[in-house]
Amino acid sequence: MPREITAFSNPLVKRVQALREKRHRREEGLFLAEGLRILTEARETGRVPRFLFFAAASAAHPLVRALVHAVEAAGGEAVETTPAILSKLSGKDNPQAVVGVFDQFETRLDQLDRGAASIFLVAERLRDPGNLGTILRTGDAVGAGGLILVGDCVDPFSVEAVRASMGALFTVPIVRTGWEEFLAWLRGGPGQLVGLSLQTEHDYRAVAYAAPTFLLTGNEAQGLPDDYEAACDLLVKLPMLGKADSLNAAVATAVMAYEVLARHR
């Protein structure tokens, strides 16, 4: 049976709230996810939270009941609480009906199956959690085999990134690695490395893409370093017809991913 917590001073409430900070997430190996849709999608992929907080007003909802059952069956703990505490945990004035605390998870490079998909997304020094979450959503939409984060990227388990992913965090494998390690792994098997760059004459619609395509997007402010571009099999650019010199990193990735998907089809 779920226990009830209504005090802000409760040690578990303080512990979970601290997970909004990267240091505490790293120390505990845990992260926060919020929202009935996201937690239900996580449950459908076989991942259930270690702790589930839900508002009393939503306790009768069938999806909340299903989550409570799944958490307790897995040995976790369900907690009925107040909207005020849910707001404290999520950092939002209008909190979702449920907040879950999950164990962090990642995929190693050698666990990626190149034959599982025709496209993989690669992001280099991505700094914005909203961009990371949106790229994950794009990866889910195009059936990408994974998102490979190269270098010093934003934490994919930050509250903002998880929120922006809309559940795709649980459906798209995530790998964190260094550039040399990634390049050595990539060259050990099939795969075309395609970089987004302004330093090329190749229009993204006028070239051929070989499967599996590894689509590489650079840092939001600086783009790809010269040596990264030199290592690519192909550099392509998106036409910019206005005064802006580039698109948002997540938008550019989405445009490219759908173009590659269309070519593969």
pLDDT at residue 11, rounded to an integer: 95
Closest CA to 135 of 254, 238, 217: 254
Single pTM value for the model: 0.92
Provide the CATH number for the domain around residue 233.
3.40.1280.10
Same domain, 154 and 188: yes
As a whole number of angstroms, the distance between CA 81 and CA 163 comes to: 21
Closest CA to 58 of 76, 74, 39, 44: 39
pLDDT at residue 245, rounded to an integer: 66
Q: How many domains, the chain?
A: 2
Single residue among 103, 135, 164 that ends a domain in this structure: 103
Same domain, 140 and 205: yes
What would the pLDDT profile of 206-258 be if each residue is shown by its tens digit?
999 999 999 999 998 888 999 999 999 999 998 877 777 667 899 999 999 99
pLDDT at residue 242, rounded to an integer: 77
Same domain, 181 and 74: no
pLDDT at residue 91, rounded to an integer: 82
Same domain, 11 and 137: no
Same domain, 225 and 149: yes
Same domain, 253 and 171: yes
Contacts of 129 (CB under 8 A, 6+ apart): 154, 155, 158, 160, 161, 164
* Tokens describing residue 65: 């009941």
Single residue among 47, 75, 103 that ends a domain in this structure: 103
Closest CA to 256 of 220, 221, 222, 207: 207
Q: Per-residue DSSP letters for 141-208?
A: HHT-S-EEEESSPPPTTSHHHHHHHTTGGGTS-EEEE-HHHHHHHHTTS--EEEEE-SS---BTTSS-
Residue 57 backbone dihedrals phi, psi, to 5 degrees: -65, -20
Among all chains, which residue has been given the structure tokens 């001073």? 9
**β partners of residue 79:** 3, 53
As a whole number of angstroms, the distance between CA 18 and CA 8 comes to: 13
pLDDT at residue 3, rounded to an integer: 87
Same domain, 119 and 80: no
Same domain, 147 and 95: no
Provide the CATH number for the domain around residue 38.
3.30.1330.30
What would the pLDDT profile of 45-62 be if each residue is shown by its tens digit?
999 999 999 998 898 899
| CA of residue 74 relative to chain centroid, distance | 24
pLDDT at residue 95, rounded to an integer: 72
pLDDT at residue 24, rounded to an integer: 96
| List of the chain residues with pLDDT < 50 | none
Q: How many residues does the chain have?
A: 265
Same domain, 10 and 93: yes
Same domain, 203 and 182: yes
Contacts of 88 (CB under 8 A, 6+ apart): 8, 13, 17
Single residue among 86, 103, 120 that ends a domain in this structure: 103
Same domain, 15 and 70: yes
Same domain, 147 and 73: no
Residues spanned by the domain of 144: 109-264
